[in-house]
Structure 1
Amino acid sequence: MKLIIFGATGQTGQELVKQAIDHGHEVTAFVRSPEKLTLRDERLHVVKGDVLDQEAVTAAIVGQEAVLTALGTESLAYSGFLERSLVRIVTAMKKQGVERIGYVASAGVDDELPGVQGML
């Protein structure tokens, strides 16, 4: 399966990348800082980009079969980042016809992503 992983340089994201490769998937890691992703494999493709850039996210999702996101922030204070990034990812998924998403985060457990309600 062709997977794209957002947040692939964080601890959870790197583990998702490793496990996906170990299970034989072709993985695209969408990252801001490629140098933070130390894993190398012939099935790993690294795309540098900003998850808040709708065009970049949409282009990266072309040809993918599923999306995994392990995006996070360094602060527990609400910044709107996760909401804005998920809106861009879901918008791109709809445009590209990708219907599978795995979302790993603590955000959203208490209705803190109001802009995403009803999108999925």
Structure 2
Amino acid sequence: MSMISLAGRRVAPLLLLALVLAACDSSAPEFIEDGASVTMAYEGRLENGNVFDSSSAATFTIARATNPGDRGLIPGFYDGVLGLAVGEEKTFDIPPDQAYGEAGIVNAQTGEVIIPPNETLTFYVRILAIQ
């Protein structure tokens, strides 16, 4: 049987393959799918170019919010990141009907408008990890 040198030791090719496969994390999904926990860097901008939200490493559960007030991602963000892989970067626009629509977002404590009504949002994302 032919042998391969690994760190100064000779091992059989099948043993080497077993070691490599054992080191791989096969439990982590390759691409973002519904229900995955994903860490990403992101930046959200308004139509005027102002940044309304950003993070260098935020973790989200990828779940679509289907009703106002639901926990989850707005439909356009959910659709925008679904299928991305670790290391992938993407910039995408989200029309108002897939974001916050006619209501927009207002800070309940200060009354400050965070996202105006009928605003198209632009997001840049970079996928850091998928758990």
TM-score by length of 1: 0.24
When you count strand as a share of all residues, which structure comes out higher?
Answer: 2
The structure with the largest alpha-carbon Rg is: 2
TM-score by length of 2: 0.22
When you count helix as a share of all residues, which structure comes out higher?
Answer: 1
